[in-house]
Each structure stands twice: as C-alpha cells, then as structure tokens.
Structure 1
Amino acid sequence: MAFRTTAVALNNMKKWAYNLSGFNKYGLLRDDCLHETEDVTEALRRLPQHVVDERNFRMVRAMQLSLTKTILPKEEWTKYEEDQLYLTPIVEQVKKEREERENWEKIY
C-alpha cells in the first residue's frame, strides 16, 4: 500500500514539475526543448520529414507566442500524459554509435 501511495505522489510531483517548466504552455513537447548538439542534429536528420515539420511548427509558434508575450489557451497546452519522447530514443542511439566509433578509432 505504501508503494502505491509513493508512486502516486511521485507521479503528481512529475506532473507538477512538468507544468512548472512552462514549455507546455506554448504547445511544446519535452524533446522540442533539447539543446541542439551534433547528436541531436543527426537524430533530427534521421526523423521522418513530417515529424520534423511538426516540430518546426511548434517551435515557430512558441517563438511567436513568446514575442507577443502570450501563451496558448489552457485547453491547447501540452498535457503530461500526451507528451511523448519522439527524439530521445534516436539521440541515445546516435550517442551510442558515436561512442562506439570513437572507441574503434582509439583502438585501431
């Protein structure tokens, strides 16, 4: 019983932190906020074009909202349950490939 209560409390804290971060008020997803390193750029190159277009739309809309100092109506905010990691798995794969390549170059 204590485990279930702890899990519920942890989930509520995650939702609270997610809403506190503020990017969801602009309609952004968590992966839209990744710092664009070489690995992220390579992962974006590997994504299907329609996913990249959707990301670009969200980014442009967020910049426009930020410039006008407004946010989306509450019903259009990204919800914690709806947020999906579309880029993180690919970034992790790219990092593993890069590290493997670097290790290979060190050895040979």
Structure 2
Amino acid sequence: MSAPSLAPFILARPWLTKLVKPLASWYSSAAGYRQLGLRADDLISEENETVLAAIKRLPERESYDRVYRIRRAVQLSVQHKILPKTEWTKPEEDSPYLIPLIHQIEAEIAEKANLDTLTITKKH
C-alpha cells in the first residue's frame, strides 16, 4: 500500500498551498534526480508487488523510457557526473506516470479483498 499523502489537505487550502509550494519546488531541485534526467516516479522502489504490477501495466514506450532514464542515471552516478543543463528533467516534464497505476492496483486489491470476505445471508 502506498503511504498516506498530505497533498489533498494542502491543496484544499490556498494559503497553505502558497506557503508549501516554494518549499516543495526547492526540495525537488535540491534532490538532484532531475539533474540525472530522472522523473519522480522513477525513484519508487520496485521491491513491492504492487509497484511491479504497475510497471508491467505501463505502455511499452513509457516502460522503455523509464529503463533508459534509470540506466543513464546509474551510469552518470558511477562516473560522478550530471547531465548538461539542457538535458535536465524540467518541472513540467516531471509528471506522475506510475502513481496513478499504483492507486488503481491498490483499489483493485481492496475490492478483491472486500469481495473475498463478502458474506451472503438468506432472508427467511
């Protein structure tokens, strides 16, 4: 299961969004993954069955691009280099592509669990 998120709470309050958004932008830039050409969803650990199922559901092109980004980042990390600034991932390109699939799979798992524990009672 994915971790709980404060995003809906923050986004529902405009004053809090104005306060947190610059901090979130700074943190994303400071994390350094964009300098390696990665997107935020590339950082999700593949040690979870739900994540593995979501990766299998990715379109072929998106899956190829993900593997390419990760391999390139590993190579850059080994060489202690970063990409030229023109090749960094731009904030507008850093959109979630794996999280929606993970949420969909978690909903399916929850629905299956509910159906598996369903009890049928007869009316007399």
Q: TM-score, normalised by structure 1?
A: 0.86
- When the two structures are aligned, how many residues end up with a matched partner? 106
Mark the runs of 5 or more structure 2 residues left unpaired by the alignment: 1-12, 120-124
1:30 aligns with 2:30: no
Partner SS, residue 107 of structure 1: coil
Aligned 1:1-108 pairs, distance under 5 A? 7-36=17-46, 37-107=48-118
2:8 matched residue in structure 1: none
1:8 Cα deviation after fit:
4.5
Mark the runs of 5 or more structure 1 residues left unpaired by the alignment: none
1:85 Cα deviation after fit:
0.5
Check 1:80–1:107 CA distance in 2 against 1; reply closer, same or farther (3 A cut). Answer: same
What CA RMSD, in Å, does the superposition of the two structures yield over aligned residues?
1.9
Identical columns (%):
36
Residues 43-64 of structure 1 show CA distances to partners (whole Å, capped at 9, x for unaligned) of 1111111110000000000010
Check 1:7–1:101 CA distance in 2 against 1; reply closer, same or farther (3 A cut). Answer: closer
For the residues of structure 2 that align with 1:38 and 1:6, how far apart are their CA atoms? 35
Check 1:107–1:18 CA distance in 2 against 1; reply closer, same or farther (3 A cut). Answer: same
More helix per residue: 1
For the residues of structure 2 that align with 1:78 and 1:8, how far apart are their CA atoms? 24
